[in-house]
Structure 1
Amino acid sequence: MSEGFTMLLTDKIIFNQKSNQTNSLVNPRNKQLIEPTVADSIVQILTGLGVCHAFGIGGGAIAPIWEALEQSSIDVLHFRHEAGAAFAAMEAYFANNSPVAVFTTTGPGIMNTLTGIAAARWEGAKVILISACTPENKQGKWAFQETSPNTMPEEIFTNGSLFDYARRIKSSDELAEIDQQLAIGFSKPGGFVAHLSIATDIQTHNGCRIFPDKSKLPLFIPDEKVINQVREILSSESFAIWVGFGARDAAKEILQLAERTGAAVMSSPRGKGIFPENHPQYLGVTGFAGHDSVLEYMQSTPPQRILVLGTRLGEFTSFWNPVMIPPKGFIHVDIDQQVPGAAYPEVNTIPVISDINIFVSTLLQKLSHTTASKLSKKQTKFSAQHYQHSTFSKRNGNCYTGLVRPQTLMNEIQEIIVEGSNSIVLADAGNCLSWATHYLKFNQPKRWRGSTGFGSMGYATTGVIGTTLASAKKAVVIVGDGAMLMNNEINTAVQYNIPAVWIVLNDASYGMCAQGTKKQGYTNVKTEIAPTNFAMLACSMGADGICVDNESQLKAAISKAMKSKLPFVIDVKINAAETAPIGMRIDSLIQQAINTNVKNKCNI
């Protein structure tokens, strides 16, 4: 039974979809039109924003909105943990670009969502949390699961680092303004995470009819003088393009710009596939689990400038490596004016505040073919052989009989899933992310998802459900055994017939912690996990599963999973002795520890 839930038997009030234009409600018994409640009005606001799915766990305090959601056109899915619902909502947004609602009851319900909500904010998703709070006249009286600014962090209820927009609704008079503010926020490029907190008594008050403002919002258009300056610079100097996840909607335009100018292209770990990874101008992935070919290029034949599109150049993208600094600096395009120059404050950076797609399209219009042709001849010449994407050959041929090497597993995933299907591939936090980032190769945008910002373990194990549902095609997650034990929602996938696939790298250990701390020089930490049969766990929930003990079983197991109409778990016993490509991350941690120690000594 859901937290704090008491079922109330009342006449159902059903939203009349056919009479949507009049925003009317109908009582199923006597067919009389009645005024909407605040709960009904909230649901109307959600549908007006384009919300098609709501994920969460109900409870007594959220029952009026819960009921209104169930009777609306919104598809409601009930999860096993609120964080899982939020993670799934985040990935559902990235799968189809439609905002997703998360609903939860008071107390632990809302607190449980916060990890997933923080991840959505960091990743740039569009998610709206609808939660219950304690009525004002009951606050301070030790109400069960009291939810108010008196008992919980104020940041939950206000705009700030957690939410772009947050509001405690105290009256239906606020709804029209709230609808307008949400419409503006969700219409802007980039992410937007909102929270509406509504006391149970307010949910049942008379609502109001919402008439959304359909006026067009201003776009993030680059300043004319700035873009002319950029055109002049790029027409006279060699440059490379650094592509990040924020440029995923401008893949076609970036490819055109690169081919017209001859610029080399590199991508952040999250930006894989935005520029085809088999293209002769593609250098490789930067930062976490990246490729040496990028560093070799920057050290041997660096461009004068780097055009940065859609990445903050944060730690996992750049490790703030001085080798990545071009002689004349960066041209950094982003919709957030605080991003350009933040990662490398000491470097000359020309900021361009613009939507990436609009910027590149405008630049292409201003960059004549004649100018681009001349520029292309000035660019550093390199061929497809300059960048060799990391591959792994089966050493010892067919004689290898040990546990599965992760590199071999990636090879099979590349062949069967990446090249043999149109599935979206997710990688959870940990060594699995490093293996996938380094070895998998994508040639289309929006087929790859990995988190290098918030990096919450278990986010993709539930996110794969949102991805599969919203994309209407099978999605696959590569995950470690530690994250799989934290959060997986296999049971939810079974309930709603969502044929997601989990590929578990099972070494009975927190693999990244084991390998990373050893590289840091710490030898006494305990990273072992009691062995788990994840295939058996899946079958116990009504899904399908199979264990893979050696490499000869991989192809058949993955092929079976991809054909299955059930949720499917592949439990792969991997060789923990194989070192994941996480060296640069460990070097960064060691350097941070050194800097901290020096600072502490100075303060003594």
Structure 2
Amino acid sequence: MSGEGVSAPADTNTDTDTDTDTDATADADADARAEERPVTNGAESVVRALENAGVEHLFGVQGGAIMPVYDALYHSEMTHITMAHEQGAAHAADAYGIVAGVPGVCMATSGPGATNLVTGLADSNMDSDPVVALTGQVPTDFVGSDAFQETDTVGVTMPVTKWNTFSSDPDTVGDDVSEAFALAARGRQGPTLVDLPKDVTNAETDKEPGEPRTPDTYTPPERASAESVQEAVEVLADAEKPVILAGGGVIKAEASEELRAFAMENDIPVITTMPGIGAFPEDHELALEMAGMHGTGYANMAITMTDCMLAVGTRFDDRLTGGVETFAPDAEIIHVEIDPAEVSKNIEADYPLLGDAKQVLGQLTEAMPRAPDCDEWREQVQTWKREYPMDYPMDPDGPVKPQFVVEAFDAATPADTIVTTGVGQHQMWACQYWTYTEPRTWVSSHGLGAMGYGLPAAIGARLAADDDQQVVCFDGDGSFLMTCQELAVAVRENLDITVVVLNNEAIGMVRQWQDGFFGGRHMASQYNWVPKFDTLAESFGAAGFRIESHDEVEEVVQEALEYDGPSVVDVYIDPAENVYPMVTSGGDNGQFALSEDQL
């Protein structure tokens, strides 16, 4: 995905004076720390590197091999959040990075601590989220001997990190952490990892680590060539049916403002990918919302019929494209992308524009000769909106509709409320029936689809968010059961989050697929018993609420949101409710189903 994060001020701010002031302040803070608390060992160098990077919060679980680093944290002003499980630490750090725009940091000990991070790191890697993981390791003399809690962490995590390293020298261990932080944030963002042998973190050193900087050899593209930009804008200006496809890279590059300005100035309809939700306000007339497997009918129709697509910061994954041979079949594709490996990997780019999304959108804005003449196209898009509305049948006396619950929470919260989710049907309802108008307010597991993401993500999002922002987590009963132990963390830290469990006593998306494609054979997808999640929440010390009918929704929503602390709302939803529209796996986006009999 395209986008450059907030790694060092010079990467994201063109105001030279501001950069100089910020760098000077950082240097002064580092000097003050060095004078007050000089580095005496490798662990303290690690902590100093994090302080130099401006880290405020860390998420982790203690253990033997990482203990020296935790001991060094004792004297730091950084806030460490002890999670219930290392997977929760990784998800919390991931969400923190999404909301704050800077790398989240997670920590774990060697062996099972490190391997428990893998799911979260794989999620961050798939979604290009900035995360720095620090893992303890057995002493270097023991490496390779199958020592207690030894794992080849670098080898295990190599496929699911942007960069990782085994730190072998106390004089350079801090610089390794600084480099990991810079690499996680710059260019195509992603998770990095530093493996820290216990003898290295215990060893003496007085080496002060440098500020986060990427190697001189790391040069991600920033601006597309003027020639390629000119070719692209001529094609776009001549288009009769143009669309903009905004991916998650728009948000990561802090390019939402540029995207909105470009789209509105040129009156071009905007579609988002699921990671791109919030890049363009969904209440704007040009917004077609999310496309793909469970995207809106009007977004998928526009993709199918467009003659020119400006795709910004997207990797064209299969949940978006369906069958690649039927994806935007008549369109010329302009692809703005920071990672050359993604260009023409899945969808052939006719006009590749390599560079940072914010910078390239600025180039396109300056070079655009005229707005496309596409009044008829915009009218057609509005017609599709009327033909394929995102509505649902509603019986006030029937089982609770999950869509109604999502809409009720949306109506009761401010526009900047942050929504996190697990993975499954509830995730789709949360992105379909909540109106997103701001970037960094939608936090979910997209590429990996990791159930259990929602609650620990809400913890990370809460700590990264502004104090006056609300955080609502939509979860399913199956997804919530995977990480519900993190409620202990939310209660201990007194975090004001609201968890809404859309409870259908099933792994709902699996059950829906079994109904549609496996003859209704519900193998291992339904539960004959689940806990009462409101009672479970109360046992943790959180507030518990329950909704069993539509007429309870409004009052309970208000009570849960007004509760100052973590609350869980157990919503007994219609167990037969399914997610539509739906494009079958590998299918044609223009042939979406609106009900099971259309599959």
Call closer, same or farther: CA 1:46–1:585 in 2, change over 3 Å.
farther
Query: 2:479: which partner in 1?
Result: 483
Q: Which secondary structure state, in structure 2, belongs to the residue aligned with residue 554 of structure 1? A: helix
Structure 1 position 317, deviation (Å): 1.5
Q: Among residues 102, 109, 119, which one is paired with 2:123 in the alignment?
A: 119
Cα offsets for 1:131-178 (capped at 9, x unmatched): 11111223455532123x3xx67243xxx4222221111112333652
Q: Is the 8 A contact 1:295 1:323 kept in 2?
A: no
Query: 1:325: which partner in 2?
Result: 328
Query: 1:276: which partner in 2?
Result: 281
Q: Is the 8 A contact 2:408 2:553 kept in 1?
A: yes
Q: Which secondary structure state, in structure 2, belongs to the residue aligned with residue 387 of structure 1? A: helix
Q: Among residues 138, 142, 146, which one is paired with 2:142 in the alignment?
A: 138
Q: Which secondary structure state, in structure 1, belongs to the residue aligned with residue 270 of structure 2? A: strand
CA distance in 2, matches of 1:91, 1:261: 33
CA distance in 1, matches of 2:582, 2:179: 45
Structure 2 residue 208 is matched with structure 1 residue 209: yes
Cα offsets for 1:378-416 (capped at 9, x unmatched): 8654474542474436634xxx33321112222212322
CA distance in 2, matches of 1:326, 1:574: 39
Give unpaired runs (5+ residues) of structure 1.
Answer: 1-16, 27-32, 590-604
Structure 1 position 268, deviation (Å): 1.3
Call closer, same or farther: CA 1:393–1:83 in 2, change over 3 Å.
closer
Q: Is the 8 A contact 1:333 1:356 kept in 2?
A: yes
CA distance in 1, matches of 2:391, 2:281: 20
Structure 1 position 293, deviation (Å): 1.5
Query: 2:401: which partner in 1?
Result: 405
Q: Which secondary structure state, in structure 2, belongs to the residue aligned with residue 514 of structure 1? A: helix
Q: What amino acid sits opposite 1:163 in the alignment?
A: T
Q: Is the 8 A contact 1:261 1:376 kept in 2?
A: no
Per the normalisation by structure 1, the TM-score is 0.85
Give unpaired runs (5+ residues) of structure 2.
Answer: 1-26, 589-599
CA distance in 1, matches of 2:132, 2:509: 33
Q: Is the 8 A contact 1:457 1:483 kept in 2?
A: yes
Q: Is the 8 A contact 2:477 2:505 kept in 1?
A: yes
Q: What amino acid sits opposite 2:463 in the alignment?
A: L
Q: What amino acid sits opposite 1:24 in the alignment?
A: A
Call closer, same or farther: CA 1:405–1:72 in 2, change over 3 Å.
same
**Which stretch of the first structure deviates more once superposed, 98-107 or 79-88?**
98-107
Q: Is the 8 A contact 2:135 2:194 kept in 1?
A: yes
Call closer, same or farther: CA 1:453–1:35 in 2, change over 3 Å.
closer
Query: 1:592: which partner in 2?
Result: none
Q: Which secondary structure state, in structure 2, belongs to the residue aligned with residue 503 of structure 1? A: strand
CA distance in 2, matches of 1:23, 1:411: 48
Query: 2:339: which partner in 1?
Result: 336
Structure 2 residue 74 is matched with structure 1 residue 74: no
Q: Which secondary structure state, in structure 2, belongs to the residue aligned with residue 61 of structure 1? A: coil
Structure 2 residue 575 is matched with structure 1 residue 572: no
Cα offsets for 1:224-274 (capped at 9, x unmatched): 211121122222223211111211222221222122222222111222231
Q: Is the 8 A contact 1:269 1:286 kept in 2?
A: yes
Q: Is the 8 A contact 2:58 2:81 kept in 1?
A: yes
Structure 2 residue 226 is matched with structure 1 residue 230: no
Structure 2 residue 475 is matched with structure 1 residue 509: no
Structure 1 position 377, deviation (Å): 5.9
Q: What amino acid sits opposite 1:193 in the alignment?
A: P
CA distance in 2, matches of 1:334, 1:84: 31
Q: Which secondary structure state, in structure 2, belongs to the residue aligned with residue 121 of structure 1? A: helix
Call closer, same or farther: CA 1:507–1:213 in 2, change over 3 Å.
closer
Largest Rg, 1 or 2: 1
CA distance in 2, matches of 1:255, 1:19: 37
Root mean square deviation, CA, Å: 2.7
CA distance in 2, matches of 1:37, 1:103: 18
CA distance in 1, matches of 2:549, 2:94: 35
Question: Aligned residues, how many?
Answer: 549
Call closer, same or farther: CA 1:379–1:580 in 2, change over 3 Å.
closer
CA distance in 2, matches of 1:582, 1:464: 27
Call closer, same or farther: CA 1:34–1:253 in 2, change over 3 Å.
closer
Cα offsets for 1:64-91 (capped at 9, x unmatched): 1012123212110000000001000000
CA distance in 1, matches of 2:508, 2:341: 35
Cα offsets for 1:542-590 (capped at 9, x unmatched): 110111111111111111111111100000001111222273255759x
Q: Which secondary structure state, in structure 2, belongs to the residue aligned with residue 584 of structure 1? A: coil
Call closer, same or farther: CA 1:385–1:556 in 2, change over 3 Å.
farther
Call closer, same or farther: CA 1:514–1:63 in 2, change over 3 Å.
same
Q: Among residues 255, 268, 272, which one is paired with 1:250 in the alignment?
A: 255
Query: 2:593: which partner in 1?
Result: none
Cα offsets for 1:285-309 (capped at 9, x unmatched): 211311111333455xx33210101
Cα offsets for 1:37-65 (capped at 9, x unmatched): 11011111112223221101001221110
Structure 2 residue 31 is matched with structure 1 residue 21: yes
Q: Among residues 453, 466, 476, which one is paired with 2:460 in the alignment?
A: 466
Structure 1 position 494, deviation (Å): 0.6
Q: What amino acid sits opposite 1:225 in the alignment?
A: E
Q: Among residues 451, 471, 491, which one is paired with 1:494 in the alignment?
A: 491
Call closer, same or farther: CA 1:511–1:203 in 2, change over 3 Å.
same
Q: Among residues 423, 426, 429, which one is paired with 1:435 in the alignment?
A: 429
